[in-house]
Amino acid sequence: TMRERYGERIYGRYGFTDAFNPNTGWVNPDVIGIDIGITLLSAENLRTGNVWRWFMRNEEIPRAMRLVGLEKQKGRGREREKGRKTEAPAPRLSVSPSPLLPFSPSAFSTSPPSLLSRATRRSSRAYRTS
């Protein structure tokens, strides 16, 4: 692991350092709290899915997702099976333009699925593009 390989140089009072360069030995001495906040939100969302549910309760969010062409899919995301959480199969993602938004295929320099992080894909499994 990183901690075993680089030791206490990259691990301090608040956990892993914000940044380091293994080639030069440089370690960022600063602790940046904003990075910790998003990490905690991500961990809670992975653990319970609550952050995603709270976010989706805002009426603007489902409306915006529909406007950009995302549709809710039944049976996607985390499901309960005999009282325990199970992962649904990985979603297929395809992108097509929304008739409400101007679109040009040249607007993307890479395919959209590669732009999504693993955590984003996991938390957005209940939606797919139309």
CA–CA dist 120, 41 (Å, integer)? 12
pLDDT computed for residue 8 by the predictor? 87
Taking the C-alpha atoms of residue 54 and residue 1, their distance in angstroms, rounded to an integer, is 34
Q: Is the model more confident about 58 or about 110?
A: 58
Does 35 score more than 70 pLDDT?
yes
Residue 6 pLDDT > 70: yes
Domain assignments of the chain as residue spans, ordered by start: 60-129
The Cβ of residue 68 has, within 10 Å, a number of other Cβ atoms equal to 13
Coil, helix or strand at residue 55: helix
The pTM score is 0.39
